[in-house]
Amino acid sequence: MQQKIIILDFGSQTTQLIGRRVRELDTFCEILPYNKFPKDDEGVIGVILSGSPYSVHDKEAFKVDLNQFIGKYPVLGICYGAQFISYAQGGKVEQTGTREYGRANLETIDTETAIFKGFEKGSQVWMSHGDTITAIPEGYRVTASTNDVKYAAYANEDKRVWCVQFHPEVFHSTQGTQLLKNFVVDVCGSRQEWSAASFVETTVQQLKEQVGNDRVILGLSGGVDSSVCATLLNKAIGKNLTCIFVDHGMLRKDEFKKVMEAYNGLGLNVIGVDASEKFFKDLEGVTDPEQKRKIIGRDFVEVFNAEAKKITDAKWLAQGTIYPDRIESLSITGMVIKSHHNVGGLPKEMHLQLCEPLKWLFKDEVRRVGYELGMPERLIKRHPFPGPGLAVRILGDVTREKVRILQDADDIYIENMHNYTMPDGTSLYDHIWQAGTVLLSTIRSVGVMGDERTYEHPVALRAVTSTDAMTADWAHLPYDFMAKVSNEIINKVKGVNRVCYDISSKPPSTIEWE
């Protein structure tokens, strides 16, 4: 039986980071809404309560019956989770009027308590809360304090409950990973069996049981997610998999041809469909980013439906949906960050069941699975590319001419990135999580070429470093590289006379502009 940690999400921006850190401990975890604790899951070995944008005193604050798990499993409360446990069990949480945000140091630490094993006095942590715990429930004791926060951490070892008002999951908590390891491995008893090899073995067997001898259709995009998904399915069901690659006209330059060639050595049965006319027609005049995504998602399904009818015995549609896709598509607060065209189910008229073998994986885990499957490195190392393609990298409406401009500029950017050698001998491309070019087609700027005035569009270059796309920092690209790329784009791409570089991180900005 697979062990798992349940992370109850109370709406924090960093809930996914908790999950990511637990996975780094080779332990499977599942992020669930705060009110969806599984009652009969025998694999649960521990529970983590996340932070929240709310105060425990807010009328709309998320609240849960702690009796579902306290006394039954080890529990770790983080920030709001710690405050809610105190509040619900007779302690006191007060609105002090002073928001505690940023770095702090644990000046007193009880290293005898399980989660602080190996901690050093003065260990740096990250605070982010408006309320503070001013009294803890009966039977609990303080286990760590800062100069300003008496109850930075408290615990009741008899009930197996540990609480911290700081965020161990973030980078700025320097021993945060140690705290989570102490909880997940030492307290909860994780066998640390979650790995790429175990995932492949388990998932191949599950796919065989799930689809049997049925025929499965998979939408290929050329990206690592769908490629790994296809290879995994091929390993499980072989010839019963049919892959369809839809060209919506907004792929990278020459992408359709390159992708079809890339799959030749994988033994996949791939059908290529050029549906660009339909997509461009339906996107005509549309400027709203969310509407673009919905139109492309709808058209993708319609094209797929038409192809599916030709494969009369198909019963399943497989998709390379990964965990961050599902997390970003709908939070528990009801706020959609951005919709993903392969998230949210299928229209009834497709008459196909949905198969998503990668739905629990973060992006770096997908890549590790790809290596485990023996896939070509050129496919595994490809940067993420949005399902709607360049449509969400063009501000404003989408036309063939704008796509042509962006394809040419982006091709120069990415090829130069491949060709730029870093001090360690690898390419700059391999140091970047994701890079792409954005066409600011709603803006024109004045320029001069030769003796002539120009009035054309700027493009923005984007490059970020990350491990899972839940957070990302802008990449510090070499100046000589940026100078070469800028000069080449302006000289070679008709319609562009200015190149900018995006230096915003996620959060607050998303990786894509739309």
User: What residues are designated binding site?
Assistant: 221-227
d(CA 133, CA 76): 16
The answer to whether residues 194 and 360 touch, using CB atoms and an 8 Å cutoff, is no
d(CA 216, CA 269): 11
The answer to whether residues 431 and 425 touch, using CB atoms and an 8 Å cutoff, is no
Question: Would you call 169 a catalytic residue per the annotation?
Answer: yes
d(CA 217, CA 252): 24
Cα distance between the two ends of the chain: 41
d(CA 433, CA 430): 8
d(CA 108, CA 248): 59
Q: Residue 131: CB partners within 8 Å, gap ≥ 6? A: 55, 56, 57, 83, 93, 94, 95, 96
Specify the residue for token string 């404003």: 396
Q: Residue 322: CB partners within 8 Å, gap ≥ 6? A: 225, 358, 359, 361, 362, 363, 366
Question: Would you call 355 a catalytic residue per the annotation?
Answer: no
d(CA 128, CA 42): 34
Question: Would you call 514 a catalytic residue per the annotation?
Answer: no
Using CB atoms within 10 A of its CB, is residue 126 exposed (0-12), middle (13-18) or buried (19+)?
buried
Active-site residue (options: 24, 29, 30, 79): 79
**Which helix (DSSP H) or strand (DSSP E) does residue 6 occupy?**
strand 4-9
Specify the residue for token string 């991180």: 505
Write phi, then psi, for 216 (nearest 5 degrees): -120, 135
Order of strands across the sheet that contains 270-274: 270-274, 241-247, 215-220, 314-318, 353-355
Annotated binding-site ranges for ATP: 221-227
Active-site residue (options: 169, 365, 456, 514): 169
Specify the residue for token string 């429930």: 137
CA-closest candidate to residue 413, choices 460, 464, 381: 460
CA-closest candidate to residue 342, choices 366, 361, 364, 323: 323
Secondary structure of 341-366 as H, E, C letters: CCCCCCCHHHCCEEECCCCCCCHHHH
Active-site residue (options: 100, 163, 167, 456): 167
The answer to whether residues 119 and 48 touch, using CB atoms and an 8 Å cutoff, is no
Q: Residue 217: CB partners within 8 Å, gap ≥ 6? A: 241, 242, 243, 244, 304, 307, 308, 311, 314, 316, 317, 318, 352
Residues marked as catalytic: 79, 167, 169
